[in-house]
Structure 1
């Protein structure tokens, strides 16, 4: 028998007196707690939750302990056109589940409606196959200190837990593709030696793959189909005795922290795995559909689809904001995350009716939260809904993915028409978008490649996407990649083509890692990973996406490590402050110079026949000055250096060349980026002849 218990906290909370259960379902007429055997196959008991307070159904199970497997049956009207989809024949997963038992297999038994008749309730019971929750034990307090990387020092590395280690020779086969595998010394050594400070994991919250993919024998490898916002994805758990997905994830976080690196996870709160009105009833759809989802005002049987994934969570509702913030705090305080990258974050800032608002309830809740306000917050600042592109419009304290940086650098270096003005704007952190509200240059997360699109190697190897393996007739993925195949589509053994591709990759990496802002590398770009031209490999859990460490490009790896070492040395290139537009004797200044050495004039910015300039981070004579020489044009150009004794530290077109003194005039070949410095105490009036 259940006692009334308490309406807070939501979820299943064990303590010395038993387990308190609480579920937000204000439109329900009755809620039953269903208890199962340990495997989650056999329903053992149904116990009505005895109390409802402010729309929260609750009850305490005296004497119960962690390990209990449970689900809910929620009663209420079946009225899809009024937004209600209650169906007590379907076991529902607690949105607050810390550990999930079972998996969604795409069968129609998970549907709340009759197959082929979406307006009628399906009365078949799915208790045997439904997803359930297991009450989790407390993990205790971690003893590993968390690093806090300064904004100007941060270098993000976006990776997939499985893909990073599935083929790693330094990871035991039993641990490959797991949280434990990512924590292995051989894996973290590589990242630390590279100069990465912040690991950004693609989604690790529990997911349910789309029915369409399951029928093709595929899965949503990327993981953007969340159904359990508190539970680590069990597919990345090694299954070692004495561990759980949560404990293994926390141990991985501790190992990352012990190396002085931050841990960010990619989170998906914009939609759920329940998809559109024809999708499965797994959790919130059956708990209180009208509460949790944005419904179409003209027909509440249909969902708003600003995500392209069938539904949108309704962040105009306080209970939805609470679900998200409660789960985020759980990942920080219990599981060890230091921050989050929010997929399609614009949805989270839409009010009732869909209007974007930078002061929306979720953003306000995060800003005042004593835990979340100190976390690293990164927005993907767009969705596909009306007015969904919002780069630069998130509030102070947020970083944002800057796709304009990506497109400009690709256009400049791969010759798709971007001008020097565009290059300069993006190179100095896109002030037009981010210099407002007290935001720093580091708010711009700069990237050339990300999980969504070509890898760096494929960017210079393919003109067209090659996504046939995805089963969508090569129609999925972007058709506008701003790529260049250097004369041959795909793999080749032509030395000239390979040399050109290598130079282009080095130039793009230099432009990324020497720019103002927060740089983000895509995992595998530093070792030459290819997806054979697939620019939307979301469903490819196979060698297409698993990094091939046995054939890693060691030279490119050394080059990236060298670039990041230079970034750490050259403080002006990673400033957390906006550069002034003029010079001052007492502080460094930024100047834009023509190849001839004079200041750039309006006519120089408008030239489209040369693609060459210099960026001078000037300094008083007793300080180090830095000079970036950019040549993205088609013909060799002579550069006249500013006064001083300059040493070349990097030449993207001459990889492996030693540092050397520079002459007063240097000739750069097309597609080159050089970095030089003027030594401390050097005579700014002296030049080499």
Structure 2
């Protein structure tokens, strides 16, 4: 063994050797431990002699890809100072490209004595610890992949396993895997819908929480990352000649071959090591005080702005480098086009805990020649102080807009939102996003997402039904703005079923025809139900697996019609903000009362007003478009603007009943309906 080099971090194979490097500036000694191919037996322990700027490094001649290794890191044990070094615990390299073993919740992983948490545990866990396997790099992802124009992008939030686990068209051996998601029958469906961008729920390798493991459950959603460079092995088909990384890359290539984008949900705000009573798997034992935000009043405790026990400290350059290197790896080797950042404000909190829109992480992304060109989506809230930051991320970022969700639910299902708030959210929430020259497409509009009711359940349940999660039905949001249409749960009542179907269609219509970037939850287009569970994060079973055999056969066609209409009607997907006053010779947006006159202050303020028209007026020969909506409980008559109007969509009509129908000068809309017409 010789000194090697401090960069790159992790294990880097060359034809005749492997270079190892680990950033642990507060450690007093570091040992590289080599194992047999199974990872069960430690065969050699090598103490590193070289340290450069806090990086321990060595080169091992004769080593090859396939070598299994882990780290033992020496240093003081002083939780009160944030120091939790324990060489009895073998540690996973945070730069691992492949992981051997799986965390099973054993207390042998604890760095502290289970009975005395402030004392170091002396038991050795090497036999069962997570280890890294040295890998051969994949070929670089093809450059110049097509980017979907902002105004044409339609996101589809999907779980790799849940999408195909019960799909009859996917070979059984591939169901629930990256290869299964890449099957033509799956991608054909998405293309028929009009989806442009797959947004995968977390696919970085996770370690499930010990509480869930004790209940026989797992963190199905995947928000418990431990391997930031490693595709989750549980979504690998295991086919001969493939690895999790190569199979994921094949998925990315298949998506790109369709002209679509691939985005992944990433968790850099916390790790699977949880709070001070959690396991020592990697970063905690490598350099706890460096990688995590610790509480200033008691450094034995962690800041918990995530609700998951800890927070990574991206104000530290070494922690920031880990994240940036991981992101570039997913783009350059695994082929993704962008990222959705879970609890993104945590990533921009400094040492003082305050959110900073010019934080090191956001600045680093903006100047990075690879990452600045990717699609960047923020979940703009966490549970820390001042954690709700909607609209405050930099230009170039998109953000999940939960206010769109809540306003549309309140407007259509509860009658508690007025026309003004509806109009504001329908046109992409300018008060939140029209700053720093950002476009309407910065607002990611959604009605449902993985967190909460599915669309079908939103109209079938007034209360959450989460007992299966093992938390006494206390978990999940109690503020759902849902409407069960008179019956809690499934029913054979034809009137209730008809009302639910009508409201599903109008909510899909307002989502997919509004300004901004729409996001559809996988399964909503086939009527998927989770039986009222609005927090199914730990349900890896038929609660969350889409049931394609019982799919609503008509709903996919309706979604496809909506997205075809969105592509046809340019004003409905404008990438520019509508001016307050019309500019002569350009398309203008006008708000009209049902009686046909422009909306007046009293119309906007009237609490009983639940209907209006939206006119996209254009100079000849351009087409004019008209949206009519009625969220009230009674039919409403509309006086249409002058012109020969043809109905292009009626959310309350049978699938093709309204297509190309010529409209009269006056038209009556049923309750809970939305129509689109053009001249």
- Is the structural similarity TM-score above 0.5? yes
**Superposition deviation, residue 315 in structure 1:** 1.2
Query: What is the 5 A alignment of 1:289-368?
Result: 289-368=288-367
The 2-side partners of 1:331 and 1:275 are apart by: 24
Shift in Å, 1:147: 2.2
**2: CA distance, partners of 1:655 / 1:195:** 20
Match of 1:664 in 2: 665
CA distance in 1, matches of 2:587, 2:236: 50
Show CA shifts across 1:323-367 (max 9, x none). Answer: 101000000000011000000000000001100000000000000
Who is 1:548 aligned against?
A: 547
Alpha-carbon deviation of 1:513? Answer: 0.4
Corresponding residue number in structure 1 for 2:273: 274
Tell me the distance in 1 between the aligned counterparts of 2:414 and 2:223: 33
Establish whether residue 180 from structure 1 lines up as the match of residue 179 from structure 2.
yes
Any residues of structure 2 matched to 1:73-88 within 5 Å, and which? 73-88=72-87
Q: Do the aligned partners of 1:275 and 1:310 also contact (CA within 8 Å) in 2?
A: yes
Q: How is 1:188-587 mapped onto 2 (pairs within 5 angstroms)? A: 188-587=187-586
**How far did residue 588 of structure 1 move?**
0.3
Kindly indicate whether the alpha-carbon contact (under 8 Å) linking 2:419 and 2:609 is maintained by their aligned counterparts in 1. no
Out of 343-352 and 57-66, give the one that drifted further: 57-66
1:145 Cα offset (Å) = 6.2
Match of 1:687 in 2: none
User: What's the offset of the Cα at 1:658?
Assistant: 3.5
Question: 2-side partners of 1:655 and 1:338: how far apart?
Answer: 38
Offset of residue 579 of structure 1: 1.1
Deviation at 1:116, TM superposition (A): 2.2
Q: Paired residue for 2:137?
A: 138
Correspondence list, 1:650-661, <5 A: 650-656=649-655, 657-659=657-659, 660-661=661-662
* Alpha-carbon shift at residue 581 of structure 1 (Å): 1.8
Query: Partner of 2:156 in structure 1?
Result: 157
Question: Is it true that 1:676 corresponds to 2:661 in the alignment?
Answer: no
* CA shift for structure 1 position 138: 1.4
Alignment-derived partner of residue 110 in structure 1: 109
Is the 2:505–2:652 Cα contact (8 Å) retained in structure 1? yes
Whole-Å separation in 2 of the counterparts to 1:375 and 1:20: 30
SS of equivalent to 2:119: strand
Structure 2 contact 27–74 (Cα < 8 Å) conserved: yes
Distance across 2 between alignment mates of 1:567 and 1:477: 33
Shift of 1:144: 8.5
C-alpha separation in 2, matches of 1:52 and 1:192? 52
Kept after mapping to 2: 8 A contact 1:144/1:257? no
Contact 1:581 1:589 in 2 (8 A): no
Cα deviations by residue, 1:597-650 (Å, 9 ceiling, x for unpaired): 110011100112130111111101210111110110111110001111110010
TM-score by length of 2: 0.99
What is the CA deviation profile of residues 577-606 of structure 1, one whole-angstrom value per residue up to 9, with x for unaligned ones?
111122233110000000011100111001
Distance (Å, rounded) in 1 between the aligned partners of 2:376 and 2:139: 25
Q: Answer whether contact 1:635 1:669 (CA < 8 A) is retained.
A: yes
Checking the alignment, whether the CA contact within 8 Å between 1:402 and 1:446 is kept in structure 2 is yes
For each residue in 1:26-49, what CA deviation from the matched residue of structure 2 results, as whole angstroms up to 9, or x when unmatched? Answer: 000000000111111100111112
The DSSP-based 3-state class of the residue aligned with 2:170 is coil
For residues 123 and 52 of structure 2, the distance between their equivalents in structure 1, rounded to whole angstroms, comes to 31
Whether the aligned pair in 1 keeps the contact of 2:97 and 2:132 (CA below 8 Å) is: yes
CA distance in 2 between counterparts of 1:342 and 1:108 reads 31
Whole-angstrom distance in 2 between the partners of 1:141 and 1:474: 47
Deviation at 1:14, TM superposition (A): 0.8
Unpaired stretches in structure 2, ≥5 consecutive residues: none
3-state DSSP class of the match of 1:13? strand
Could you tell me whether the CA contact under 8 Å between 2:415 and 2:632 is conserved in 1? no
Alpha-carbon offset, residue 447 of structure 1: 0.1
Does the 8 Å contact 1:613/1:631 carry over to 2? yes
Q: How many residue pairs get matched?
A: 677
Which residue number corresponds to residue 686 of structure 1?
none
Local SS of the residue matching 2:444 = strand
1:354-386 deviations in whole A, cap 9, x for unaligned? 000000000000000000000000000000000
Distance in 2 of aligned mates of 1:223 and 1:184 = 22
Structure 2 counterpart SS, 1:224: coil
CA contact (8 A) 1:144 1:258 kept: no
Aligned partners of 1:416 and 1:612: how far apart in 2? 11
User: For the Cα contact (< 8 Å) 2:141–2:331, is it kept in 1?
Assistant: no
The CA distance in 1 between the partners of 2:168 and 2:298, in whole Å, is: 54
Unaligned 5+ segments in structure 1 are 679-689
For 2:241, what is the secondary structure of its paired residue?
A: coil
Q: Contact 2:443/2:516 (CA < 8 Å) preserved in 1?
A: yes
Q: CA deviation at 1:17?
A: 3.8
CA distance in structure 2 between the partners assigned to 1:545 and 1:429 by the alignment: 30
TM-score after normalising by structure 1: 0.98
* In structure 2, distance between residues paired with 1:58 and 1:394: 37
CA contact (8 A) 1:379 1:401 kept: yes
Contact 2:97 2:134 in 1 (8 A): yes
Quote how far apart the aligned CAs of 1:143 are: 5.0
Secondary structure of residue in 1 paired with 2:658: coil
SS of residue in 1 equivalent to 2:420: helix
For 2:605 and 2:172, how far apart are their aligned partners in 1?
Answer: 56
The 8 Å contact of residues 610 and 634 in structure 1, kept in 2 or not, is answered as no
Query: In structure 2, how many angstroms separate the alpha carbons of the residues matched to 1:214 and 1:250?
Result: 30
CA positional deviation for 1:104? 0.2
**Local SS of the residue matching 1:117:** coil
